[in-house]
Structure 1
Amino acid sequence: MSARPAGIVLPLLLFAALALVPLLAKLGPESFILAIMTRVAILALAAMSLDLLIGYGGLVSFGHAAYLGIGAYAVGILSSHGIEEAGLQLAVGLAVAATFALATGAIALRTEGVYFIMITLAFGQMLFFLATSLAAYGGDDGMTLSGRSRVFGTAFLRTDLGLYVASFAALVLAYLLCRRITVSRFGRVVAGTRENRVRMEAIGFSPYRFQLVAYVIAGTIAGLAGFLAANQTEFVSPASMSWQRSGDLIFMVVLGGTGTLHGAIAGAAAFILIEEVLSHVTEHWRIVFGPLLILAVLFARGGIAGLFRPRGA
């Protein structure tokens, strides 16, 4: 099997399986299955945006969940003021996420290595504590939404099937966008900077500007995931932007295989499904899940995506 066909097997399987979810859900507890798989699609969207930074840019962000929180709070805050139109909420969420990414990325990207990790963590925690101080919007306890967003006045997102279709469509479109970015000249510069920054500067590129644009794109996509997450849970809290959530996203990327995009989707699905199974066995499921992740890192270096690569590729 050549590398190219092997590289499209897992994406095709993943998207085919996700496309069949509405049909398969009718064979079991439909609402439960749609809820789980909607969560998979949403967190896969967030993990994929992070993989754009980690896998292609070599930028390990430990504050990526901040953008999930921004998208979620855009829904919650506007909804509390009677603005329930999805288009307006989404526009505000994406604009704020992009602005925050631009402002923080402009500072964080002047560092590298562990310093970059720590400064992204600091910015993420700064936003977390800001959210806990918003007493008018629930503070540390969070806030419950009056209902899901409306799409042009319709209740499309207020049905489980409608929200799943919207989440799946967002995931597919974001995947195609990210795939196009990674194979473009822009993406090659970002990847080249990860390999050798000095060489990229020597041939006339400005790595900082390219990395900053990639950082803003990743943050904006995560903001979209936050918008969808708020609509699914109908609840918004600072926990959505905590460092633990950022850690979970990194786990998903590593588990699925960095630098593949579809690996992040597979990693998110595996993470959530394993969590769901183990949480029904014991409330201390993370004690079991932790060693499983360590074993995956040690013995499956390419993650889940690596299992679909031909030997020697």
Structure 2
Amino acid sequence: MSATPRSSPLGGKHVFVAAVFLLLALWPLVSGAYGADLVAKLMIYAILAVALELLVGSTGLVCFGQAAFFGIGAYAAVLLAPADNAVPSLLVALPLSMLLAALYALAVGALSLRTKGVYFIMVTLAFAQMAYYVIHDTELGGGTDGIYLYVKPVLGLLDLGNAAHLYGFIWFSLLLVFAFLALLLRSPFGRALAGIRVNEQRMRATGFSVYPYKLAAFTISGAISGWAGFLFAIKDGFVSPELLSWHLSAGVLVMIILGGLGHLRGALIGAFAFSLLQELFKSEALLGEAAKHWHLGLGLVVIACVAFMPRGLVGIPHQWRLHAARKRDKHAPDSEEAQA
């Protein structure tokens, strides 16, 4: 089988991503307040999804504790706010939230990366549950009642208390994170991560010390997840222990699988698709009483997608081309008849 040609800088993949970001930028012009708020939430989940894609799809590390870094970033945004209800600075609040999430990711990664396979999954889950119960069972995070954020950060003319400003900042954050990860994965560091994913033993044999690469990827992913958590706390003005629950970690993992592992745009598509499917099956206006059992409908759709689209949503064009090629080969005459 011949190698797949490298896409050009202005190939279809890049055009698709550019179109997605353009549509997201223009969305508030045609939607109401509810539609803009919904898409803002989806963009935050997309940031969290591409952060996990760096680990799962690009490095081969199946992490089941991504919600811990997300929740730490969210709680940091609230707990580090000035006690006298003074207006917090975005230049201080956001970096601190990312730093705390990154430090916890560094500590978790330093220990969990010494394990492999299912043991790595369980260790990351255990650390995430530890963070969850610290928030849930202590007064640090307000317990089960959560904490409210009354004053949103500002930066010059940018006021995150304004819905339009907040939407624009979330959009810009997603664009910046996506561009950063795309460049990172094309760099020698990203190529090393791809080599680790494909064959870690061979990378060691060629002289690479894989542990620092994996730890760096784990820490970067944690910092970006903290960024997403910070945005979520600012958008809702409220945080609760559910932001650190394993359900969120599992949901984000399903997002990147649904979209297609190994592609940043797949994580982007999967985050929007999974979240929109949730909204669809939860809608009592559309499904009536069946909306109470939305988990069943969502689960069946996800199972069907995994069964019939093994490459995820991002692989649909490839499946169409493959089907068309098989159809052409089926109806094409054999070589002897063609020569005759």
TM-score by length of 1: 0.93
Aligned to 2:90: 86
Measured in 1, the distance between the counterparts of 2:303 and 2:211 equals 33
Amino acid at match of 1:289: L
Measured in 2, the distance between the counterparts of 1:104 and 1:11 equals 33
Q: Secondary structure at the match of 1:37?
A: helix
- Native 8 Å contact 1:14 1:266 kept in 2: no
The answer to whether residue 68 in structure 2 is matched with residue 59 in structure 1 is no
The answer to whether residue 150 in structure 2 is matched with residue 141 in structure 1 is no
Aligned to 1:105: 109
The structural deviation recorded for 1:12 is 2.6
RMSD: 1.8
Measured in 1, the distance between the counterparts of 2:302 and 2:145 equals 31
For structure 1, which runs of at least 5 residues remain unmatched after alignment?
Answer: none
Aligned to 2:261: 258
Measured in 2, the distance between the counterparts of 1:7 and 1:211 equals 27
Q: 2:119 aligns with which of 115, 119, 124?
A: 115
- Native 8 Å contact 1:71 1:93 kept in 2: yes
The answer to whether residue 321 in structure 2 is matched with residue 311 in structure 1 is yes
Larger radius of gyration: 2
- Native 8 Å contact 2:72 2:229 kept in 1: yes
Amino acid at match of 1:103: A
Q: Which stretches of structure 1, 4 residues or longer, exceed 3 Å deviation after superposition?
A: 308-313
Pairing of 1:211-230 with structure 2 (within 5 A): 211-230=214-233
Amino acid at match of 1:232: K
Aligned to 2:299: 290
Measured in 2, the distance between the counterparts of 1:305 and 1:3 equals 17
Q: Secondary structure at the match of 2:321?
A: coil
- Native 8 Å contact 2:75 2:141 kept in 1: no
Amino acid at match of 1:296: C
The structural deviation recorded for 1:3 is 5.9
Equivalenced residue count is: 308
The structural deviation recorded for 1:9 is 4.1
Q: Which has the higher contact order (CA 8 A, sep 6+)?
A: 1
Measured in 1, the distance between the counterparts of 2:90 and 2:295 equals 35
1:84-107 deviations in Å (ceiling 9; x for gaps): 222211121111111111111011
Measured in 1, the distance between the counterparts of 2:38 and 2:222 equals 24
- Native 8 Å contact 1:182 1:188 kept in 2: yes
Measured in 2, the distance between the counterparts of 1:66 and 1:137 equals 13
Measured in 2, the distance between the counterparts of 1:99 and 1:117 equals 19
Measured in 2, the distance between the counterparts of 1:226 and 1:98 equals 12
For structure 2, which runs of at least 5 residues remain unmatched after alignment?
Answer: 326-340
Amino acid at match of 1:304: L
TM-score by length of 2: 0.86
1:182-220 deviations in Å (ceiling 9; x for gaps): 111111111111111111011111111101101111110
Amino acid at match of 2:159: F
Measured in 2, the distance between the counterparts of 1:61 and 1:288 equals 26
Aligned to 2:329: none
